[in-house]
Amino acid sequence: GEGNGPIDHFHELRGAASIVPASWSTLAWEQAAAVRADVDELEFVRGLGEGTLPREAFLRYLAQDAIYLGEYSRVLAKASALAPTPEEQTFWARSAESSIVEERRLHESHLGATVAAPAPQTLAYTNHLHASARSYAELVAALLPCFWLYTDLGIRLATRRHDEHPYDDWLAMYGDPAFTAATARATEIADAAALEAGPIERARMDAAFARSMEHEREFFARA
């Protein structure tokens, strides 16, 4: 009952300012490194950046993306309904609006009134997102890859933009600073949710994020 108090098991870390625990999102992104490398090597992604992607492949991708965005906006609305703060509610609601209005404008400019049937990969991805709405934290984790992977690709592929690039409007959209800022905010929200979650909930977040990354890979690969 005497002495300096309880044992501090982390006493050796005190004063080590360079040692900072990694955030949940950082770890999730690092654990998806193999999937991200697969995406980078896909013929579709390489051709999209180089501008050599066949037009029919791009239109096939856009047709499925239009279907995906319709469901994605509904899931974003679910996130808004589950959000614990007015600020987060507003963020997800605005993201839902953007997916319907701003991004689908790109699809309509290329596809016109063309309507396609959903591919198995599209259905699998959107079903996964809807199923992840069991809790706010899990849903946010499932939604994050669509923000983050597209931002990552958009920023890197935007370096290949030029006036004659056939897919310059796609590169401009996902390389836009406003979309990068939205991704950063979605990441902050996910990290905050992970801090509030218990170990079981964080494990579900890990699984939801990883599965969404895999679905993103399959979505690009199908195109």
Beta carbons within 10 angstroms of residue 115's beta carbon: 9
Would you state the pLDDT for residue 159?
A: 92
Assess contact for 101 and 162: CB atoms under 8 A.
no
Would you state the pLDDT for residue 5?
A: 56
State how far the Cα of 138 lies from the Cα of 125, in Å rounded to an integer: 15
**Model confidence pLDDT, tens digit, residues 173-198:** 899 999 999 999 999 999 999 999 99
Report the chain's mean pLDDT, rounded to a whole number: 90
Is the pLDDT at 19 greater than 50, yes or no? no
Is the pLDDT at 7 greater than 70, yes or no? no
Would you state the pLDDT for residue 109?
A: 84
**Model confidence pLDDT, tens digit, residues 34-71:** 999 999 999 999 999 999 999 999 999 999 998 999 99
Residue found under tokens 């690039």: 165
**Model confidence pLDDT, tens digit, residues 74-123:** 999 999 999 999 999 999 999 999 988 876 787 788 887 777 899 999 99
**The pair of three-digit structure tokens given for residue 1, joined into one six-digit string:** 């009952």
Assess contact for 204 and 190: CB atoms under 8 A.
no
Please state the pTM of the whole predicted model. Answer: 0.88
Helix, coil or strand: residue 19:
coil
Helix, coil or strand: residue 119:
coil
Assess contact for 24 and 191: CB atoms under 8 A.
yes
Share of the chain above pLDDT 90, in %: 80
